[in-house]
Amino acid sequence: MSPALSSAGSPSGSPTVAADASDRVAPPSVFQPRRLAALVRKESLQIVRDPSALVIAFVLPVVMLFLFAYAVSLDVEGVRLGLVLEDGGVAARELAAGFAATPFFDVLTVHDRRQVEDMLVAGTLRGIVVIPQDFDRALAGGTPRLQVITDGAQPNTANFVSGYAEGVLATWLASRQTSTSSGGVQLEPRYWFNPEIESRRFLVPGAIAIVMTMIGTLLTALVMAREWERGTMEALFSTPSGIVEILIGKLLPYFALGLLATLGCTALASTVFEVPLRGSLVALLLLTSTFLIPALGQGLLISALARNQFVASQLALLSGFLPAFLLSGFLFNIESMPGWIQLITRVIPARYFVSSLQTVFLAGDVWPIFVRDILAMLAVGAVFFGLTAATTRKSLDR
């Protein structure tokens, strides 16, 4: 046998080494749009073939909106109040002291209503009581007026402010032994953003935030966990596609699904439930796009930690849906919660999304609020995606 043939047939020969090298999986190449488009197309076809994804995205929002619009009522305790003391008379100061002394209000006293109007718009204050300049003189000669301005975007809080303002006024009048028919005070309530005080206008925007949490976190966690269960995720990681391409390709269809669901919910809210959209559609889509970043990131992180659909659904329920439902300000006033729970709410993306949605629907485009909430949601999203990337790399190394 010739040396050449011996070399070719030997296990240590160069042709065999070359064959072994060709069997190795090539490392991920440079980011390629065509490959990303193929991954997006694959995931989009999977959504079409999976009825559960379409049910969660389009049927569940309708059911939840009807439930929250018609079946939920709220009770609020404790609000922050701005007190505008325009009159420096004795009676005016006594009445102001009565508002400051009640345990139901956290009173900020100023002398110019312009100092607190922006705070009411921003949600820092829930109501304003204005003691006008001629209060003492009108009290002595007739019936003075006391103006109460509340945030109608929070109907229960608005009614709470008006009701307790009337109670404080009645207590003060009784202490002066003054009857309402002679030398009384006329209370004039005004409700900003929601003059009719309809709870539906407050609940429906918040319900949209809960729906987006379901789509972004729960649906993503379930779908990704199912991929791990079936082994298709490992198959994707064995392809030349990089981890960034794979994750983006998996998330983009659900990102688009969330935007479509938002448009559907907005149309339903405006036409069926008569909730006005006073802000712009651009602002609404920008806020939704920003919120979907932490929501999808949380779903990815859950699926990376729990590669079982049942465990992933439980984690998504406990860490996504329930905090968004209970701690976002959607149902319960955050200011009335204990201090340590208020700190927890700061890391819940739905808190900022609920605030922005109620603003864009009922008040309009208030960009100082939007910028604050967008930055907070992006920060939380960056944490989720960073943890997901680290966890996924560790999982592949095992």
At 231-286, the pLDDT tens digits run 777 777 777 777 778 778 888 888 999 999 999 999 999 998 888 899 999 999 99
User: 11 in a domain, yes or no?
Assistant: no
Do 48 and 115 belong to one domain?
A: no
Do 45 and 171 belong to one domain?
A: no
Do 210 and 188 belong to one domain?
A: no
Q: Residue 371 has what pLDDT?
A: 94
Q: Residue 12 has what pLDDT?
A: 46
| Total domains, the chain | 2
Q: Give the mean pLDDT of the chain.
A: 79
Do 289 and 390 belong to one domain?
A: yes
Do 90 and 217 belong to one domain?
A: no
Compute CA distances 364 → 71, 176, 283, 318, 360, whole Å.
26, 43, 9, 33, 5
Q: Residue 340 has what pLDDT?
A: 84
**Beta strands per DSSP E along the chain:** 79-85, 105-110, 127-131, 145-151, 186-192
User: 133 in a domain, yes or no?
Assistant: yes
* Boundary residue ending a domain (143, 177, 192): 192
Do 282 and 160 belong to one domain?
A: no
User: 298 in a domain, yes or no?
Assistant: yes
User: 21 in a domain, yes or no?
Assistant: no
Range of the domain at 160: 79-192
Nearest CA-CA partner of 211 in 288, 302, 131: 288
Do 327 and 368 belong to one domain?
A: yes
* Boundary residue ending a domain (148, 173, 192): 192
**Structure token digits, residue 192:** 């900003």
Q: CATH number for the domain including 117?
A: 3.40.1710.10
Q: Residue 384 has what pLDDT?
A: 92
* Boundary residue ending a domain (166, 192, 218): 192
User: 5 in a domain, yes or no?
Assistant: no
User: 8 in a domain, yes or no?
Assistant: no
User: 19 in a domain, yes or no?
Assistant: no
pTM, two decimal places = 0.64
Q: What is the mean pLDDT of each run of 10 residues along the chain (398 residues)?
A: 46 47 54 84 80 72 69 57 87 86 83 86 84 82 79 72 80 65 58 68 87 88 81 76 78 90 92 90 95 92 83 85 86 77 91 92 90 95 88 56
User: 10 in a domain, yes or no?
Assistant: no
Do 270 and 320 belong to one domain?
A: yes
Do 153 and 290 belong to one domain?
A: no
3-class secondary structure per residue, 168-209? HHHHHHHHCCCCCCCCCCEEEEEEECCCCCCHHHHHHHHHHH
At 174-222, the pLDDT tens digits run 777 644 443 456 666 666 766 656 777 878 898 999 989 988 898 888 8
Do 90 and 186 belong to one domain?
A: yes
Do 287 and 347 belong to one domain?
A: yes
Q: Residue 191 has what pLDDT?
A: 66
